[in-house]
Structure 1
């Protein structure tokens, strides 16, 4: 005589499809369906079998219910759903921001699989004339620090270290590299300024001759 397993076991958030059966002999299979508002976890077994020892096979909870996933700044989740409940949230960022962290969350046993990622600002790579960055990267994200160094013969004007901010700007302002005037080079600087003020090469040549003559006169007076 076949043994009867009796009333099917309870499964959280699921209801057995009894089909008006009142007896459950060995080999009977009872299917379960998720209650409204819940969805079956993909790949999970949703049927219990009556075993020869008169007991039902054990069923792990398989009905999910995850509400809207966590909201993030400068981005949003794109939901994948089946039946009633979202089961996957794939995050994306606004333009100018990049994802940091796990980009996909899964609904597992009515809970999201982990903390959401962050969307961090991307700052444009600083362009330094007569200088460069100590770190060679295509992009920098907020809170990253950058150190600037100037080429030989040039000195930095402004802060040497700057930080990428959330609004995608650098703080303090990106510095400049300017040519350093060493002792004894003041006359060259004056000559450079003179050349910038004259309209033609002939005027520059004449001005340099006059400037040279003035230096000779000044030297003679000092002797």
Structure 2
């Protein structure tokens, strides 16, 4: 009777061990940003000693080893695979512009491209880092164009181009013989697409310029510029009498507006330190 009991116990232990050793595993739980490889996706249970592997989701790259786990007596071994965000890296440069990475250059981050002053962007401003790299091309920065300025009466400008000028191109104005330039001598193509200063100069006929005789200088005298008429760029020079100092310019010039520039000087009495 005792022998029969011992035999039953031993048989029970053998059956229990056999069941434990052959116990299958349920579907394993994947770690962050990973999934079971395709051939394992449809299975719900896995026999003992099964080995399955994981793959990182799109946009993530594998780190850590091994990539597989093993079913042992109903329990999966620990998942050691780590899936990190992939890095799109350096996207390149934009000529006449810049590229900024406000968030970084990893999967899901974005870059922002911009153009320098005077240049227009052709293309996208924002590009995202995708699973297979940057999802788009960097834009191109083109210089702002300016139409040629209007013709200058009794004058011209240079250089001349056939179609358009571009940002920071400069033109120089000049007048025909017998005319003088009244206004800016140059203009520059600006970021607004217009030449600045916006208003072109005038070419004034110098034969029409006449400045009135400045007359006598109180407490002083004229030393040059006696001959009339006083036309464009004619000059008159003064000096003060002894004991007086000049306030203003000693030489004045006849301008295009038929006025003297600067105005007539003054001679003021110079007090000495020992005077009461």
Using the size of structure 2 for normalisation, the TM-score is 0.35
By relative contact order (CA 8 Å, sep 6+), the higher-ranking structure is 1
Higher helix share: 1
Q: Between Structure 1 and Structure 2, whose CA radius of gyration is higher? A: 2
